[in-house]
Amino acid sequence: MPQYQRVLGPACACRTQTGTIFAYSLKPRISTSVLSKNFNQLPGRCIKLNEEIAGCKLITKLKETRLSETWLAKNSAGQEVVLKKIKSPDKNLVIREAQAMAELGEGQPNIVQIYHAGEEGGVGFIIMEYMRGGNLMERIGGEGMKISESIKYMLTVGDALQHIHANGKIHFDVKPQNILFDDKGNVKLSDFGSIAFLSPAMNMPTPTTQEYAAPEALKMYEWHFKKIEYEKEIKELEATRSTQNKARIKELQCKLKALKKPRVDQRADIYSFGKTLYQCLTQAEFNKDEPFVLNSPRELNRKVPRWLDKIVMKALEFDPEDRYQKMSEMLNALRWHLLLKKVKYAAFSFVVAIIIALCVWILPPAPPVDELTRQAEIAIESQQMGKGINLLEEAAKLAAKRKLDKARQIELHRRLVNYYRGLSLPNWDKVKEHSQAILNLNPSDQRAIRDLEEARRQEDKHP
């Protein structure tokens, strides 16, 4: 089989040794009628390590779920790709997911790109790009993420969801495991197996993850299975006609009419998006039995700002009418507060800079070393020894801070050594301190070595 390309052209089928390979165009609006003629019912056979499918050799199994297997594979050119095998024998699952990925990935960098899809030897498959950076759940489950990182990643996912909704679809399975990273750290949304159309005719719910599913999505399942249950019982009762059965059939028909179909739309994705952001901020694990019982993010993580707490909790409202009605509304709220935070920080920095400038302008500058030394000499001549020594100490510190030449610093420390030694009660701690300072500047200064040794001897005599 020739090397597959990003766009394969018109739908076509070709024979191989293993069976029929069906490859179809990845351009928008794939013809289902053309597909059905060439795409047989899939037996869903097992695939094994090192097996070759559509020119791709299977290297290792990455993930297996109830509905699919995901394999790391290499094509004939040695490029690493992901091959997803659809377990269901229903060909429409492959068609629907491949079609959605092809249409939505066109011109949208935040959606995992599809390369090829079809059937070979009874295996329905989709070949897509390999994301080497792992998924979001791995980052949440490790050391956690900074709040700024969480918002950054989820804004990217939100842009992808906004694009999906603008094309009249809902993802229906937004969760950390379906948010992937490439080797450069770019974020992409994956797994379109649960894609559903925003249409009143959507009668059959698609599989979704319970912990991240919106309440109305789970109600949709309940409605669907009750409908099947009632219809099945009615059919069975109609097969055996009796007066008792007729009464029961009427009862079931009334129940069937009374069943109210829940409305599921893009707000279900907003709920799942909010729950994923909630987990990024809190590292919380959700209870399958009580998925809608949640504390606010701020209660679990005090670093979460109040404005972000409110945005997340609004996205997680039980009633869809109380949530954000569009993905763009939630993204705008996040971006607005981030912009406001930057403006506040910039304003604070500006005020601090003004205060510092005023202080520099109003307050007198620190006197230079020479001026401090002159003032110290005047104080010592006036028999104000304590004041003079303090001024010299200040001059020595300023000289070190301004990194004056070593000779000037040594001179100041030497004078301080002499003054401390000459006191009626010599301060040997200070003699030792300034002698050591001289040796730090000039390790071979013999006078400082002698002064240091004398200070140590005196300390030993008078501990």
* Token output for 108: 């949208």
Mean pLDDT computed over 74-93:
81
Percent of the chain with pLDDT over 70: 85
pLDDT of residue 421: 84
Question: Mean pLDDT across the chain, nearest whole number?
Answer: 80
Mean pLDDT computed over 220-245:
79
pLDDT of residue 2: 34
- Between 298 and 35, the higher pLDDT residue: 298
pLDDT of residue 45: 64
DSSP string, 206-234: PP--GGG--HHHHHHHHHHHHHHHHHHHH
pLDDT for 412-462, tens place per residue?
888 888 888 888 788 888 888 988 998 998 998 898 888 888 888 887 777
Task: Indicate the pTM of the whole model.
Answer: 0.66
Mean pLDDT computed over 285-290:
78
Cβ atoms of 24 and 8 closer than 8 Å: yes
Which residues, 6+ apart, have CB-to-CB distance to 215 below 8 Å? 271, 292, 318
70 Rama sector, left if φ>0, alpha if ψ -120 to 50, beta otherwise: beta
pLDDT for 385-418, tens place per residue?
888 888 888 888 888 887 888 888 888 888 888 8
pLDDT greater than 50 at residue 29:
no
pLDDT of residue 204: 53
Instruction: Report the C-alpha gap between 128 and 115 in whole angstroms.
Output: 5
pLDDT greater than 60 at residue 272:
yes
Mean pLDDT computed over 118-136:
86
Q: Which of 53-62, 212-221, 321-330 has the highest mean pLDDT?
A: 321-330
Q: Which of 55-59, 185-189, 239-243 has the highest mean pLDDT?
A: 185-189
pLDDT greater than 70 at residue 208:
no
* Token output for 9: 């052209």
Mean pLDDT computed over 81-86:
88
Which residues, 6+ apart, have CB-to-CB distance to 430 below 8 Å? 416, 417, 420
pLDDT band at 364 (very low <50, low <70, confident <90, very high): low
